[in-house]
């Protein structure tokens, strides 16, 4: 915990500073949601096909999902998602002729969540 997944349009590969984003995001999650630094895990998943409405050209999508153990307030979750959007603005370079659709959400992990490290 937290379990962080970043789905992004593959067309952003050269314009999305993923390692820097993950480091900044981990620091932010520690600061806002009281996570422990070694517990922060982020997976990036590029998607080849992106459509916005009926369009495929000129659009890119980034969606960040943060799974946290239950107990954070709605205010904490909202602050965290706003911070994620700010970090995306900093780590995804603008590109002429492309509209970036960025979003983030915080979810409570199911009570059945378990993990192990080996």
Express each pLDDT in 37-53 by its tens digit.
Answer: 999 999 999 999 888 88
Classified as helix, coil or strand, 50 is coil
* Distance (Å, whole) CA 77 – CA 104: 10
Three-state secondary structure call for residue 34: coil
pLDDT on residue 57: 84
pLDDT tens digit sequence for 56-71: 788 999 999 999 999 9
Q: Is residue 35 part of a domain?
A: yes
Q: What angle do CA 25, 56, 86 make, to 5 degrees?
A: 20
The mean per-residue pLDDT over the stretch 2-31 comes to 97
| Parent domain of 13 | 3-108
Q: Is the predicted pLDDT of residue 55 greater than 90, yes or no?
A: no
Q: What is the DSSP letter of 110?
A: P
Q: Does residue 58 lie within any of the structural domains? A: yes
Which CATH number goes with the domain that contains 85?
Answer: 3.30.429.10
In which element (H, E) is residue 33 found?
A: helix 18-33
Between CA 103 and CA 80 the distance in angstroms is 12
67 within domain boundaries:
yes
Split into its structural domains, the chain has a count of 1
């Amino acid at each position: 915990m937290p379990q962080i997944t970043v789905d992004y349009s593959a067309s952003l590969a050269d314009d999305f500073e993923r390692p820097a984003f993950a480091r900044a995001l981990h620091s932010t999650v520690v600061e806002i949601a009281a996570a422990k630094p070694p517990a922060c895990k982020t997976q990036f998943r590029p998607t080849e096909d992106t459509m916005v409405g009926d369009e495929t050209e000129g659009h890119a999508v980034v969606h960040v999902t943060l799974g946290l153990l239950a107990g954070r307030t709605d205010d904490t979750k909202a602050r965290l998602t706003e911070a994620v959007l700010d970090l995306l603005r900093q780590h995804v370079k603008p590109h002429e002729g492309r509209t970036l659709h960025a979003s983030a959400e915080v979810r409570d992990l199911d009570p059945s969540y378990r993990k192990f490290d080996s």
